[in-house]
Structure 1
Amino acid sequence: MSWSGCVACLPRVAVVGGSLTGLTAALVLRDLGCQVDVHERSAAPLDGRGGGIVLHPVTVRYLRENTLLDLRTVSTSATFHRYLAADGTVLDESVRRYRFTSYNALYGPLLRAFGRERYHIGHDVTGLAQDADGVELAFSDGNTARCDLVVAADGVSSFVRRTVLPDVQQLYAGYVAWRGLVDERELEPGTAAALDDALTYHLGPGMLALTYPIPNYDGKAEPGRRLMNLVWYRNVAAGRPLADLLTDRWGTRRDVSLPPGSVRDEQVAELRATAAAVLPRPLAEVARRVAEPFLQVMVDVGVPRMAFGRVCLVGDAAFSVRPHAGAATAKGADDVWSLAAALTQCEGDVRAALRAWEPAQLQLGRALLERTRELGDGVQFRGDWVPGDPSVAFGLRRPGDSADMRDS
């Protein structure tokens, strides 16, 4: 994609947030000819964050179109969607053919493709002022930067969103997701066999536990060398129970997550004891062997607008959705590619492009938010999930559209 016209007319772009969506935005817009800088508030690159990711074609579109990634070497596959009863027997098994990867497997190639020269770590945005000719960002170190377009990819707690939409709040969904990773070589043979080649679910009162394989820390993705990714959704009452859970081992009350190594020992012990009591044996073993479980609070965020003159919100900064559709990363990438198409169509006119881009992305975000709310409330509170129901399949625009990715 490109547009005609003078080089001086090409927008200067500031991407706020240097994770997967931010890096994808930086690369796609740079390739249009824009001068792009990424401003990441963390003082260090973001490798090592997160766990498994459900692959969708749009998630890896940039890497594949630019031959920067061989999908077979950075992802794992699962042929079946399998449901286990409490005693470990198989309740249902359907063919799905999902592919999974890890955060690091995508972040590393994206960062290498963009480079470090314009990837600014330690750039915590503290101010945003817009006028007719551009936008000025202020940073916590006292420096400023001026640009023609701000792409806010700064996540669920987005500073940019809080600035342009101060009344939009995170809404607690009533449950949390415990997550963790285990090298499958540490699992008993029976456990490995029970979880092999599958996205494995177990449903219980007020909970859903699931596993799927992802590449190992060293990138190994072949069976026998992978990591088993665990996600366990559990209801936690708002107020004191949630606040206690989110208090880390140093006494600090966290907001929406507890990273690996920060969960208090008594909380880890409770997690493992409950797993042994209520989960099927294969899933219980995975939970028991997770060395450093970490935690994400399930929240909903939805915005009435995504475009504000020369500022736009993408990915989780606009719509933070529960993970049940496996599509949050895909939604961020779709926002970016659609933005690039709008800029091309509008010959680099930022305001016109954002006006053209916003309606479809708002519609997509609202639909995904509603679907993930329905899925989450169905399993955690109504208890009306049925093993084998195709409506719970992963997908961005419809259930199941994440399945059947080709290997290359």
Structure 2
Amino acid sequence: MQPSKAVKVLIVGGSVGGLAAAHEMRAVGAEAAVYERSAGRMEARGAGVVMQPEVEALLVRLRMSARAVSVELWERQQLHLHGRATRYEAPQLMTAWDTLYRALREPLAGVCYRLDSALRRVRVEGSEVTAEFADGYTTQGHFLVGADGIGSATRRLLGGNVRPSYAGYVAWRGLEPEAALPGDLLELLTGRFTFFGSDGMQMLCYLVPGPEGELTEGSRRVNWVWYVNVPERDLPRLLASRSGKPYTTFLPPGEMVLDTAAELAVTAEASLPPQFAELVRRSDVFMQPVFDLPPHRMVADHAALIGDAAGTVRPHTASGTSKAFADAAGLAAALRGWAPGQDLPGGRLADWEQERLLRLVSLSRAGIGLADQSSLGTVDGRRYFDSA
């Protein structure tokens, strides 16, 4: 008897969640191919990533240690409005999106990874899935994984009618070389998770590896994020770009218009501790509105959704990346042993979906609870950048 050929899994979305899915599928004997809609170098829409057990587990399997791709912190410190710091011991590892991307991408050098592949159609015929892309390219496999984020084309094409909703606040972000910052500011931030909170805002900061994964002193980067309540009517104004390109979910570095930059500096000076106001002033700022996507069914015919494509969690849980990794690992385990031509392991897929949706609901509630503590996205929270 001829041995069954390997299952081919088509993975839509080439960010770290899609790369994790490729590794997990290969680990259970499947062939993986990844299709990413970006035409060129992917933009790091997160920046800093808190090292979580699910991420570390995959790195270890790939013969890498978490410390090899992370900056180690030893303290947490709360800044008060006039600059005083309260500190306590809290060891933690911090990595960055691009560092993690590189760590996962390089071992897949021989695997199909196709850019400029915007999914336009999915067809299931018998035991085969056909994916068609905007440029006319078509490919076939036996299972499709949608790892294409909150704006997932896969979810839409599989019949998902849920849409993201604005959570009521945005994340201003910066990712600056440590060598570009003054010594006194760097001394305050190095080795520490630094945070500040007040009504309608929260800011946090920590060091991450350099742009090529450097961990040596002087070569790393300072990552910060400043969550601020912003009325929905003001989003188009704040997302306006210097290039004139329309943005709705992400304003990249270098695109902020001068009026917004000036408003940002004034708000930072009036609302943040002086050290954080200086950090904002010295940064090439980018921005992401925070959106909620409620939990959605994850399994369809010969297809599944993972990560933000299936539902989001607020960033305060520091689990967006780890959730996608756990989704991928569990899905691969459910497909282990399945061969082309056989019935899908429906029971295992249903169990996986139930377990992951329960986890998603739990994380989602926890994230909203954490946001509420700083009145982020709440009806009575103070609003900023309000043009009314």
TM-score of the aligned structures, taking structure 1 as reference length? 0.86
Judge conservation of contact 1:130–1:310 (CA < 8 Å) in 2.
Answer: yes
What is the alpha-carbon distance in structure 2 between the residues aligned to residue 355 and residue 205 of structure 1? 42
Provide the residue aligned with 2:190 in structure 1: 196
Task: Say which is worse superposed, 168-177 or 137-146, in terms of deviation.
Answer: 137-146
Closer, same or farther in 2 for the Cα pair 1:383/1:221, shift >3 Å? farther
2:81 aligned partner: 86
Instruction: Give the conservation status (yes or no) of the 8 Å contact 1:307–1:358.
Output: yes
**Residue type matched to 1:273 in 2?**
V
Any residues of structure 2 matched to 1:260-271 within 5 Å, and which? 260-271=253-264
1:177 aligns with 2:171: yes
Match of 2:247 in 1: 254
The answer to whether the 8 Å contact 2:338/2:345 transfers is no
Match of 2:365 among 367, 370, 381: 370
Corresponding residue number in structure 2 for 1:206:
200
Name the counterpart of 1:392: none
Structure 1, unaligned stretches of length 5 or more? 386-408
Aligned pair 1:131/2:97, yes or no? Answer: no
Q: Deviations over 1:281-327 (max 9, x none)?
A: 2211211111x211111011123310012110001111222210111
Q: Which residue of 2 aligns with 1:29?
A: 25
**Residues 208 and 232 in structure 1, CA contact (< 8 A), matched pair in contact too:** yes
The correspondence of residues 73-152 of structure 1 with structure 2, limited to 5 A, is 73-90=68-85, 92-115=86-109, 117-152=111-146
Matches of 1:55 and 1:347, distance apart in 2:
34
- In structure 2, what is the equivalent of residue 343 of structure 1? 335
Q: Residues of 2 paired with 1:189 and 1:371: CA distance?
A: 37
Count of aligned residue pairs for this structure pair: 377
- Give 1:87 deviation, angstroms: 0.7
2:265 aligned partner, one-letter code: R
Matched with 1:281 is 274
For residues 44-83 of structure 1, what are the structure 2 equivalents within 5 Å?
44-46=40-42, 50-67=46-63, 69-83=64-78
For 1:181, the aligned partner's letter is L
SS of residue matched to 2:120: strand
Q: Distance in 1 between matches of 2:10 and 2:318?
A: 28
Would the aligned equivalents of 2:74 and 2:192 in 1 still touch at CA under 8 Å?
A: yes
* Structure 2 stretches lacking a partner, 5+ long: 382-388
The SS at the match of 1:8 is coil
Task: Return the alpha-carbon distance in structure 1 between the equivalents of residues 3 and 372 of structure 2.
Answer: 50
For the 8 Å contact 1:156–1:301, the answer to whether it is kept is yes
Following superposition, the deviation at residue 207 of structure 1 comes to 0.5
Q: Contact 1:228 / 1:286 at 8 angstroms: preserved in 2?
A: no
Q: Which residue is 2:147 aligned to?
A: 153
Contact preservation (8 Å) 2:127, 2:302: no
8 Å Cα contact 2:160-2:296 kept in structure 1: no
Q: Distance in 2 between matches of 1:177 and 1:27?
A: 31
CA RMSD of aligned residues (A): 2.3
Percent identity over the alignment?
Answer: 33
Q: Does 1:323 align with 2:319?
A: no
> CA–CA distance in 2 between the matches of 1:384 and 1:222?
44
Question: 3-state SS of the aligned residue for 2:4?
Answer: helix
| SS of the residue 2:140 aligns to | strand
Q: Amino acid of the residue matched to residue 10 of structure 2?
A: A
